[in-house]
Chain A
């Protein structure tokens, strides 16, 4: 008979689990998704043993399902994180967060001279390198990278 492993972070009845988050990205994921202000249960685990990553982070959010844009945000800071949708304790959907080919609105251009930092202009980027995270601004044509990535408020 298969023995069930003890869950370090409790299961949720309905909501989303973000699994396989690099340990250094856990709190950034919380920040970019605005989970500090989320008014329901959020369970956070970090430095948990992981076959895939060695150590990993996990976030379980009760009664919350993420939009496509939110999943893109997760992918930008935690590439290859798993998004698991849960309904009544059952996994209904599981997929890997993927960086899209283009990103609109939620990232700020790293170039202070870009028009998007001077006026109310929605930002737009083309992802030119998903592995090293390099985004080309549609407007000023300059690059925003992992090191200079900032999200709009």
Chain B
């Protein structure tokens, strides 16, 4: 039985390297055989205090395929939360009705707090701009699946590296696998120094760029994120830099054959649609991998694997 039984997953740093690999191995089994009714005696609560179609459906699909029953809400309208019930009281109540809580809440740190008051394990499905660890786990799964390994890769992260929580988590997780990081962003949206410090502390290297073209020949993975107009106080500046983080099919000439493009989705215009038809596009399969990874996490935490 997994050592993850009974554990919470709130932040990607809650798990260590061996535990990441364990989850990925279990997920591989679910990819080969997704419908295993091993949680038919379990109730999974999905509490979405703010809407998130992809994440919620992915968790619910994962739970359904394992035979678990699902309770919960997809937005707090019409629930006791709208009547002013505290998060504390909601969690205490729901934990008495369920075996596992999956929670998304716009308040940062809400999942950590929920895990401290809940009598059942909590999986963080996003707490504001803070953490979204299952996204990171599916990113790791997608990288390993496309590259055959997580070790010694050239990882390029592109776009909004300052506010993009998925990039912060991915960098922290990949620090366990001797990665080299290539960071492409406008000056205003560079990776925060605290995350760069994680790279340095792991004895690894990073390089910073402002133009995506500079990293195409080197990268094994190009992890794209969206540069949002509202992040720029000066709109002229946005207009000047916005195209420097857009990936087109033309740019992929000269990339490594094994290179794959990932994106946490939804995409707007940062990957042009002509990239979709290339062998390098992997973002839609990446989203699909989320189901296997979430199956693995739920099964391991509930002691069914």
Contact = CB atoms under 8 A, between A and B. Distances in A.
A1 interface: no
A115 to B, nearest CB: 4
B88 interface: yes
A94 B243 CA distance: 62
Interface of B: 11, 86-88, 105-110, 112-113, 127-131, 194
Contacts of B129: 113
Nearest to A141: B130
A111 B11 CA distance: 18
Given A139-B113, A141-B11, A141-B130, A120 B86 contact: yes
A145 B71 CA distance: 41
A109 B108 CA distance: 11
**Main secondary structure on A side of the interface with B:** loop
Contacts of B131: 141
B108 A114 contact: yes
Interface of A: 109, 111, 113-116, 118-121, 137-143
Contact of B109 (A120, A140, A143): A140
Given A141-B130, A143-B194, A115 B110 contact: yes
24 contacts: A113-B106, A113-B107, A113-B129, A114-B107, A115-B87, A115-B107, A115-B108, A115-B110, A119-B86, A119-B107, A121-B88, A138-B109, A139-B108, A139-B110, A139-B112, A139-B113, A140-B127, A140-B128, A141-B11, A141-B109, A141-B130, A141-B131, A142-B108, A143-B194
B88 A111 contact: no
A118 B129 CA distance: 15
B87 A119 contact: yes
